[in-house]
């Protein structure tokens, strides 16, 4: 049975008429830049996030760049984050002139190790980018306390965590700013690139609104120099059509994860989910020291898998100038050799889930 890692076509077909008419409306109104579509989605996404402001932007990467600029992070500042994330998390730190400071992750969750975070803070530290990896949040109450004590801006990279919760609150509640990606494969994805920034802080929101669209206050009046980081109106219309379904899709992801947890053989380590932490399973990531063999076996069974991410950022060529070495962040490095993302998406059938579980069970029984 051929099973993809994600099935964007199945997702589209499940709400085809809604999406098609949303796209047609944008074309009929030739409302391609900003306007009602972007405004409506921003209102709905802010409501969904239980936040005061949501500002659409061009990608999860520009969302992070906007967040750092709005927080006035710049040269001489350090920003703490983790090495086991997508490079977008760290690129924008360098692009505002600041220095990336890595902290290793917790061996259980693979999220930032909060004890180590506390020790890594120096007078130069200006912000923390917390990555809600695979759709799970760390203890944000503790991180908020630590941030308050040292007057740090807390940015939640929530590109993988739409609808995730910690103690009933979603990204943007504990942090100063949460950033989202709507890359097609994300839990809420559009048909191209898109992103958003969510905040309860009026000042940060105002600055981000200026930065996202050339520093405009009116059509030809520019208060500051900004960027063209706008959310495309066509993408906003698509996102607005998809958003009402996100809760249901999240529920299905969580159901599939429960099936995996209950049925996968004990030889693989499955993600752990504890009370008060609502995991939304952007990825379902197993761990085993036989990762490469298991991956090859599943490939033969036509089950697509992935590794998120195979090379920790501190060992990437892009950061060779920082002269990190193997062993600097041992938990992240060990995890990179053991992790395997297996298919999880809302439209998966019981037969597909069963086939994957049976295939993994077969691998460990030969």
Ligand X SMILES: *Cc1c(COP(=O)(O)O)cnc(C)c1O
Residues that bind ligand X (CB under 6 A): 59-61, 85-86, 88-89, 131, 157, 159-160, 181, 183, 193, 195
Query: CA–CA distance from 305 to each of 4, 32, 184, 294, 300 (Å)?
Result: 8, 37, 17, 10, 11
Work out how close the CB of 282 gets to ligand X at its nearest, in angstroms, rounded to a whole number.
7
Beta carbons of 135 and 187 less than 8 angstroms apart: yes
The token duo for 285 is 């990531």
Tokens 């051929």 found at: 2
Q: How far apart are CA 310 and CA 303, in angstroms?
A: 19
Beta carbons of 286 and 261 less than 8 angstroms apart: no
The token duo for 100 is 């990336």
Work out how close the CB of 134 gets to ligand X at its nearest, in angstroms, rounded to a whole number.
9
Identity of the residue, 86 or 284, whose beta carbon is nearer to ligand X in the bound complex: 86
Identity of the residue, 178 or 331, whose beta carbon is nearer to ligand X in the bound complex: 178
Identity of the residue, 131 or 331, whose beta carbon is nearer to ligand X in the bound complex: 131
Identity of the residue, 159 or 303, whose beta carbon is nearer to ligand X in the bound complex: 159
Identity of the residue, 88 or 331, whose beta carbon is nearer to ligand X in the bound complex: 88
Beta carbons of 243 and 41 less than 8 angstroms apart: yes
Identity of the residue, 196 or 353, whose beta carbon is nearer to ligand X in the bound complex: 196
Identity of the residue, 91 or 206, whose beta carbon is nearer to ligand X in the bound complex: 91
Beta carbons of 92 and 68 less than 8 angstroms apart: yes
- Cα 49 → chain centroid: 14
Work out how close the CB of 59 gets to ligand X at its nearest, in angstroms, rounded to a whole number.
3
Tokens 């999240």 found at: 250
Q: How far apart are CA 258 and CA 184, in angstroms?
A: 24
| Cβ-based neighbours of 62, under 8 Å, separated by 6 or more | 195, 212, 227, 229
Work out how close the CB of 63 gets to ligand X at its nearest, in angstroms, rounded to a whole number.
7
Residue with smallest beta-carbon separation from ligand X: 60
Work out how close the CB of 92 gets to ligand X at its nearest, in angstroms, rounded to a whole number.
9
Work out how close the CB of 199 gets to ligand X at its nearest, in angstroms, rounded to a whole number.
17
The token duo for 41 is 């989605």
Work out how close the CB of 120 gets to ligand X at its nearest, in angstroms, rounded to a whole number.
20
């Amino acid at each position: 049975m051929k099973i993809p890692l994600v099935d964007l076509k199945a997702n589209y077909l499940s709400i085809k008429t809604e999406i098609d008419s949303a796209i047609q409306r944008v074309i009929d109104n030739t409302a391609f830049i900003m306007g009602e579509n972007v405004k409506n989605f921003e209102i709905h996404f802010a409501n969904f996030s239980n936040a005061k402001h949501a500002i659409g932007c061009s990608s999860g990467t520009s969302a992070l760049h906007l967040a750092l600029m709005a927080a006035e992070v710049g040269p001489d500042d350090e920003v703490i984050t983790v090495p086991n994330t997508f490079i977008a998390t760290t690129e924008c730190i360098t692009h505002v002139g600041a220095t990336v400071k890595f902290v290793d992750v917790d061996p259980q969750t693979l999220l930032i190790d909060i004890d180590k975070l506390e020790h890594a803070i120096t007078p130069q530290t200006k912000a923390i980018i917390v990555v809600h990896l695979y759709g799970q949040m760390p203890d944000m109450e503790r991180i908020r306390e630590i941030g308050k004590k040292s007057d740090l801006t807390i940015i939640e990279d929530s590109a993988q965590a739409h609808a995730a919760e910690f103690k009933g609150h979603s990204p943007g509640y504990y942090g100063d700013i949460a950033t989202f990606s709507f890359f097609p494969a994300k839990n809420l994805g559009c048909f191209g690139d898109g992103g958003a920034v969510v905040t309860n802080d009026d000042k940060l929101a105002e600055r981000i609104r200026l930065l996202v669209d050339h520093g405009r206050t009116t059509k030809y009046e520019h208060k500051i120099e900004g960027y063209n980081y706008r959310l495309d109106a066509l993408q906003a219309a698509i996102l607005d059509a998809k958003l009402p379904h996100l809760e249901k899709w999240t529920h299905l992801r969580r159901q599939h994860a429960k099936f995996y947890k209950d049925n996968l053989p004990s030889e693989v380590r499955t993600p752990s989910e504890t009370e008060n932490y609502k995991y939304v399973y952007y990825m379902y990531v197993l761990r085993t020291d036989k990762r490469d063999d298991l991956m090859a076996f599943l490939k033969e069974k036509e089950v697509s898998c992935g590794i998120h991410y195979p090379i920790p950022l501190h060992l990437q060529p892009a950061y060779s100038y920082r002269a990190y070495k193997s062993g600097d962040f041992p938990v992240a490095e060990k995890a990179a050799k053991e992790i395997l993302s297996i298919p999880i998406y809302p439209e998966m059938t019981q037969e597909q889930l069963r086939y994957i579980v049976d295939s993994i069970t077969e691998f460990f029984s030969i």
